[in-house]
Amino acid sequence: MNGCRPSRSVKIYVEGGGDTNNLKSECRRAFSKIFESAGLATRMPRIVACGSRGAAYDDFCTALRVMSAGDMVLLLVDSEGPVDVSNNGKPWSHLKARDNWDHPPGATEDHVHLMVQCMENWFLADRQALSDFYGQHFKNHSLPANPNIEQIEKSRVLDGLEKSTRDTQKGEYGKGKHSFKILEKIDVQKIMGASPWAKRFFDELLKP
C-alpha cells in the first residue's frame, strides 16, 4: 500500500482537539497512528487539529487560497447526521444543506471528507479494540448493534459508549478524556470495511 508521491504534500484540516494544546497534540498523534496503519508511513500527511468544526472549515478555506501548486489540502469533519444517498460522493452538497457552508472556489469533491456521523461511529467498527481499551466490566451489549455504522445516530453512539464504559476502571467515555486514545487503537482496515465514507477518505490519501 506504500507508494511514492514526492511532488505532493498533503495537509489535512481536522475537526477535533478542543481548545487545549494537549488535546490537539493527542488528536494529531491519533490520526498519525491510523495513517501509519493505513500504509502512509513513508508519505505522512500533515495533520492540523483545528478544534471546532467551523474552525476546521475556515482554516481549510484559508489554506486552499494560499496553497502552492502541486500541494493538496483536505478537510475532514463529522457529518453530524446521516448523509442522504443523493449526496453520495458529494460532500459539499451535504455540508451546504446541513450547515450552509459554501463550496469554496477551487475546491473539488475530493478536497472534503466526512466522518459519518461522527468520529465515534468509527469506534463501532472495532469493538474488540474498545473492549481491550476499557477492560473488565466493559459492556459490549450496550453499544448499538447495527453493523452499518453510518446509519447509527450520533446521539445513540455517544449514549452507547457512555453506558458500555460506565462501570469500567477507566470510567465513563468522555470525548476529551478517551476519544483520541481509542482512535489510535482502532483497526483502520475495519473502519474502511464498515464505513464507505471512511474508505473514500483513505482511498484519496492512498492514491499513487
- Residue 7: what pLDDT? 53
Residues of the chain where predicted confidence (pLDDT) is lower than 70:
1-7
pLDDT of amino acid 19: 81
ω into 117 cis (within 30 of 0): yes
φ, ψ for residue 48 (rounded to 5)? -110, 110
Q: How far is residue 126's CA from residue 188's CA, in Å, rounded to a whole number?
A: 9
Question: In a 3-state reduction of DSSP, which class is residue 71?
Answer: coil
Q: Cα 175 vs. chain centroid, distance in angstroms?
A: 13
* Strand order through the sheet with 112-115: 46-49, 10-14, 72-78, 112-115
Question: CB neighbours (10 Å) of residue 161?
Answer: 25
First to last CA, the chain: 9
Please state the length of the chain. Answer: 208
The DSSP element (H or E) to which 78 belongs, if any, is strand 72-78
Residue 142: helix, strand or coil by DSSP? helix
Contact of 113 with 91, CB cutoff 8 Å: yes
The three cell numbers of residue 44 are 505522512
Rounded to whole angstroms, how far apart are CA atoms 43 and 187?
Answer: 19
What cell does 204 get?
A: 484519496
d(CA 72, CA 88): 22
Q: In sequence order, what are the beta bridge partners of 11?
A: 46, 73
Regarding pTM above 0.85, the answer is: yes
Copy the grid coordinates of residue 42: 513513508
pLDDT at position 166: 97
